[in-house]
């Protein structure tokens, strides 16, 4: 995570988290009264058909009176997701035909077994007893 400090009166302290096509900005800012609040911004890069790109941005303003509840719910929700689905990321592209590596390995080994069985059966059926004296 990158860290930035500003001299600007409104921007007090910032950190940046780059995550693939997304960038998250965590900024401590100051109100006119001199109190601090947090903004969390998401910026996501998109590409136009002509190859140029643009960014979509979303922002959340989080005030001190909401920190405890927000933090508590964020922790609860992230724990729930990790407990239910683990930390493995399925796919950044979210492919429809994505299969876990362990199930692919199981499938390929079971498919190999079936292929070997079929080959064995096929070789038994097509086996011809040849005596070299006949040649």
Q: Where are the domains of the chain?
A: 2-87
Max mean pLDDT among 64-68, 102-106, 125-129 falls in 64-68
Give the pLDDT confidence of 57-80 residue by residue, as tens digits. 999 999 999 999 999 999 999 999
* CATH architecture for residues 2-87: Roll (3.10)
Is the whole-model pTM more than 0.85? no
As a whole number of angstroms, the distance between CA 61 and CA 31 comes to 12
Mean pLDDT of 29-40: 93
- The distance from CA 94 to its chain's CA centroid, rounded to whole angstroms, is 8
Mean pLDDT of 12-33: 93
Bridge-partner residues for 46, per DSSP? 54
């Amino acid at each position: 995570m990158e860290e930035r400090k500003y001299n600007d009166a409104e921007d007090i302290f910032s950190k940046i988290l780059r995550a693939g096509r997304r960038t998250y900005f965590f900024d401590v800012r100051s109100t006119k009264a001199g109190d601090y609040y947090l903004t969390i911004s998401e910026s996501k890069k998109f590409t136009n058909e002509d190859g140029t790109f643009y960014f979509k941005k979303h922002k959340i303003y989080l005030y001190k009176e909401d920190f405890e509840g927000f933090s508590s719910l964020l922790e609860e929700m992230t724990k729930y997701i990790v407990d239910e689905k683990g930390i493995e990321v399925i796919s950044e592209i979210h492919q429809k035909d994505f299969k876990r590596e362990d199930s692919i390995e199981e499938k390929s080994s079971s498919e190999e077994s079936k292929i070997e069985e079929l080959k064995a059966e096929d070789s038994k059926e097509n086996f011809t007893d040849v005596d070299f004296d006949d040649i």
